């Protein structure tokens, strides 16, 4: 059986906050647990907030903005390595980390003020690793850590949460070579376990209820890797 | 807190089996629970199995097959409304239901014999509704029911399970107009709850362990709709 427990009662997170300590005081953690943390609080604790008053939009940003704030589009362009699709003011971009998502992960909701936006962490795997180390320091327990974000999908409505950073977690479960119940060898069956863990956690996160983290117990996903392993390499990608 | 409980001990499913009765005998169900069932056992119970010995491949199927079995590609073509991308023998297709997925959902693993393939249910929402009605008849309880499948994604490695049929479940949670913790109005924030439920269930399904169903407790997703609501309408789809 799997249990998913919300981490409740966290305060509004500000730059410099010790997020691991705030979580450790509100969650019972065990080894092999997976802690899923919404990137927004990770980004805020890391000071990845941009005040739009400091942004001068380029011509490209103005063109992409439509009726939206061109300064927001300018931040999106700066966070993008490549634009994948645009329909002003909607931008699907590849981030510098290689993730393909709306607005290059730049987020206007839940920001500290209406004139600010929140960026993705500079290096979300490193953010996850730091959280894990600090939790170990504080509690003696080192759970797997996933930093999650809500991504839209090609062809499908609505967002699901995915892993954009991780530590102590095996991102993919490769079943190739194993045999299923009927004796058929499973070819090329790779399950994106870290994304499923992020999606499962979202069911308790509640974007409006200020629950930015959850503990998942009962899935042994212990292992190593990077959230970038969840990105299809350019040469194999049919949808670049 | 959410709990996800695997439904264990199910026998190999055959055409005509009363799947709801087999599940009801092995799961404790309560109202507002969500039962997630892997489509493969639903399809098998419904007799959606094709014997490749009966299939004569077309020239198109032969061309797409590469070194793979052209009869399998022929079945995929028959299940496809439109081919989205091909790289023999890989085919990404839009099914007659509107789902975009590898092989139009035609599955060779876990089939009853190596010479057979399993199709998606003819109408997965109707399959979910029949399961739900029959469970109600047998147990007095009508949980939400999701029929799931493992889909690949554009840009991301590995599969995650998604909802291809549902009954008694609200597929999407629309937060637009609600206010988040910082007072910012959440624009266009729609969460694909049914897909997240399917992904969460997959964490206990275990493709090799013959656990094709799971009960999720603690998520109130009661409501109505269709799994087709999870498909982006053609006119809004940036990736057709």
CATH code of the domain in which A82 resides: 3.90.1660.10
Interface of A with B in 100-159 (CB under 8 A): 100, 108-114, 150, 153-159
Residue A188: Cβ within 10 Å count: 12
Q: Record the tokens describing residue A156, joined without a space.
A: 């499908």
Calculate mean pLDDT across residues A165-171.
97
Whether A60 and A92 map to the same domain: the answer is yes
Instruction: Judge whether B44 lies within some domain.
Output: yes
Instruction: Judge whether A236 lies within some domain.
Output: no
Whether A42 and A142 map to the same domain: the answer is yes
Query: CATH number for the domain including B54?
Result: 3.30.1330.100
Q: What is the DSSP string of A171-191?
A: S-EE-TT-B-TTS-B--S-EE
Inter-chain CB proximity A110 and B6 less than 8 Å: no
- For residue A37, whether the previous peptide bond is cis, meaning omega lies within 30 degrees of 0, is no
Q: Above 90 in pLDDT, residue A208?
A: no
How are beta strands A173-174 and A116-118 bridged, if at all? unpaired
Interface of A with B in 72-91 (CB under 8 A): 85, 87, 90
Q: Above 70 in pLDDT, residue A183?
A: no
Residues B174 and B92: their CA atoms lie apart, in Å, by: 29
Q: Record the tokens describing residue A192, joined without a space.
A: 């994106």
Q: Is A147 exposed, middle or buried (0-12, 13-18, 19+ CB in 10 A)?
A: buried
Distance from CA of A140 to the nearest CA of B (A): 24
How are beta strands A144-151 and A34-38 bridged, if at all? parallel
pLDDT band at A225 (very low <50, low <70, confident <90, very high): very high
Instruction: Judge whether B237 lies within some domain.
Output: no
Q: What is the DSSP letter of B22?
A: H
Instruction: Judge whether B194 lies within some domain.
Output: yes
Residues B104 and B78: their CA atoms lie apart, in Å, by: 9
Closest CA to A198 of A164, A155, A232: A164
How are beta strands B80-87 and B49-51 bridged, if at all? unpaired
pLDDT, one tens digit per residue, over B184-231 is: 555 568 999 999 999 999 999 976 668 999 999 999 899 999 999 999
- Looking at residue A218, its pLDDT comes to 96
Calculate mean pLDDT across residues A57-76.
94
Chain A residues whose beta carbon lies within 8 Å of the beta carbon of residue B109: 180, 182, 184, 186-187, 189
Whether A113 and A158 map to the same domain: the answer is no
Instruction: Judge whether B23 lies within some domain.
Output: yes
Residues B230 and B186: their CA atoms lie apart, in Å, by: 20
CB distance B144 to B201 below 8 Å: no
Whether A176 and A69 map to the same domain: the answer is no
- Closest partner residue to B4 (CB to CB) among A2, A6, A208 is A2
CB distance B42 to B50 below 8 Å: no
Chain A residues whose beta carbon lies within 8 Å of the beta carbon of residue B173: 158
Whether A68 and A90 map to the same domain: the answer is yes
Instruction: Please give the model's pTM, rounded to 2 decimal places.
Output: 0.95
Interface of A with B in 5-34 (CB under 8 A): 5-6, 12
**How crowded is the C-beta side of A60, counted as CA atoms within 13 Å?**
9
Inter-chain CB proximity B186 and A175 less than 8 Å: no
- Looking at residue B105, its pLDDT comes to 96
Whether A44 and A59 map to the same domain: the answer is no
- Looking at residue B188, its pLDDT comes to 60
Residues in chain B: 240
Calculate mean pLDDT across residues A31-36.
96
The residue out of A68, A94, A119 marking a domain boundary is A119
Chain A residues whose beta carbon lies within 8 Å of the beta carbon of residue B12: 181-182
Closest CA to B165 of B46, B51, B76: B46
Whether A29 and A128 map to the same domain: the answer is yes
**Given CB atoms, is B2 within the 8 Å cutoff of chain A?**
yes
CB distance A40 to A145 below 8 Å: no
Residues A158 and A156: their CA atoms lie apart, in Å, by: 7
Calculate mean pLDDT across residues A60-70.
93
Residues B124 and B128: their CA atoms lie apart, in Å, by: 6
- Closest partner residue to B191 (CB to CB) among A110, A158, A232 is A158
Closest CA to B191 of B206, B170, B213: B170
- Looking at residue A182, its pLDDT comes to 53
Whether A125 and A172 map to the same domain: the answer is yes
The residue that leads in pLDDT, A90 or B139, is: B139
- Looking at residue A63, its pLDDT comes to 95
The residue out of A94, A119, A144 marking a domain boundary is A119
The residue out of A71, A88, A119 marking a domain boundary is A119
Alpha helices in B122-180 (DSSP H): 124-139
Q: Above 80 in pLDDT, residue A54?
A: yes
Instruction: Judge whether B240 lies within some domain.
Output: no
pLDDT, one tens digit per residue, over B31-76 is: 999 999 999 999 999 999 999 999 999 999 999 998 889 999 999 9
- Closest partner residue to A199 (CB to CB) among B5, B87, B196 is B196
In this prediction, what percent of chain B has a pLDDT beyond 90?
Answer: 81
Instruction: Judge whether B235 lies within some domain.
Output: no
- Looking at residue A210, its pLDDT comes to 82
Q: Quick one: closest CA in A to B200, which residue?
A: A200
Whether A75 and A187 map to the same domain: the answer is no
Q: What is the residue range of B30's domain?
A: 3-230
Q: Above 90 in pLDDT, residue B97?
A: yes
- Looking at residue A236, its pLDDT comes to 82
- Looking at residue B89, its pLDDT comes to 85
Determine the Cα angle at A228 with ends A225 and A229, to 5°: 55
pLDDT, chain A, mean: 92
- Looking at residue A85, its pLDDT comes to 93
pLDDT, one tens digit per residue, over B133-182 is: 999 999 999 999 999 999 999 999 999 999 999 999 999 998 876 655 55
Q: What is the DSSP letter of A188?
A: S
In Å, how far from its chain's centre is CA B82? 19
- Closest partner residue to A159 (CB to CB) among B113, B192, B200 is B192
- Looking at residue A181, its pLDDT comes to 57
Whether A135 and A181 map to the same domain: the answer is yes
Q: What is the DSSP letter of B9?
A: -
Whether A79 and A17 map to the same domain: the answer is no
Calculate mean pLDDT across residues A81-96.
93
Q: How many domains does chain A have?
A: 2
**Which stretches does DSSP call E strand in A42-131?**
49-51, 80-87, 90-95, 100-102, 116-118
Q: Quick one: closest CA in A to B107, which residue?
A: A186
The helix (H) or strand (E) run that includes residue B199 is helix B193-205
CA distance readout (Å), A36 to A20, A132, B233 = 12, 11, 32
The DSSP bridge partners found for residue A82 are: A94
Instruction: Judge whether A15 lies within some domain.
Output: yes
Q: Quick one: closest CA in B to A101, which residue?
A: B155
Residues B50 and A160: their CA atoms lie apart, in Å, by: 33
- Looking at residue A240, its pLDDT comes to 76
Whether A129 and A212 map to the same domain: the answer is yes
For the ranges A71-75, A193-197, B113-117, the lowest mean pLDDT is seen at B113-117
Calculate mean pLDDT across residues A203-213.
84
Contacts of B62 (CB under 8 A, 6+ apart): B70, B73
Residue A15: Cβ within 10 Å count: 12
**How crowded is the C-beta side of B46, counted as CA atoms within 13 Å?**
19
3-state secondary structure of A140: coil
Residues A207 and B181: their CA atoms lie apart, in Å, by: 8
Chain B residues whose beta carbon lies within 8 Å of the beta carbon of residue A5: 1
- Closest partner residue to B110 (CB to CB) among A5, A112, A180 is A180
- Closest partner residue to A195 (CB to CB) among B112, B160, B186 is B160
């Amino acid at each position: 059986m799997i249990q998913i427990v919300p981490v409740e009662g966290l305060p509004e997170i500000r730059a410099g906050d010790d997020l691991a300590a705030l979580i450790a005081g509100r969650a019972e953690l065990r080894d092999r647990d997976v802690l899923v943390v919404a990137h927004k609080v990770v980004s805020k604790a890391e000071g990845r907030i941009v005040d739009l008053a400091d942004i001068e939009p380029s011509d490209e940003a103005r063109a992409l903005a439509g009726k939206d704030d061109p300064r927001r589009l300018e931040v999106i362009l700066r966070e993008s390595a490549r634009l994948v699709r645009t329909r002003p003011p909607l931008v699907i971009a590849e981030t510098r980390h290689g993730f393909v998502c709306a607005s290059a992960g730049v987020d206007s909701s839940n920001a500290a003020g209406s004139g600010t936006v929140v960026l993705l962490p500079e290096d979300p795997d490193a953010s996850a690793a730091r959280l894990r180390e600090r939790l170990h320091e504080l509690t003696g327990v080192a759970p797997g850590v996933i930093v999650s974000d809500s991504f839209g999908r090609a062809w499908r409505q609505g967002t699901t949460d995915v892993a954009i950073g991780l530590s102590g977690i095996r991102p993919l479960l490769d079943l190739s070579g194993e045999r299923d119940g009927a004796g058929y060898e499973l070819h090329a069956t790779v399950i994106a376990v870290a994304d499923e863990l992020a999606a499962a956690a979202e069911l308790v996160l509640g974007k409006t209820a200020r629950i930015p983290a959850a503990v998942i117990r009962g899935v042994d996903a212990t292992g190593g890797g990077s959230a970038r392993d969840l990105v299809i390499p350019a040469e194999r990608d049919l949808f670049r």
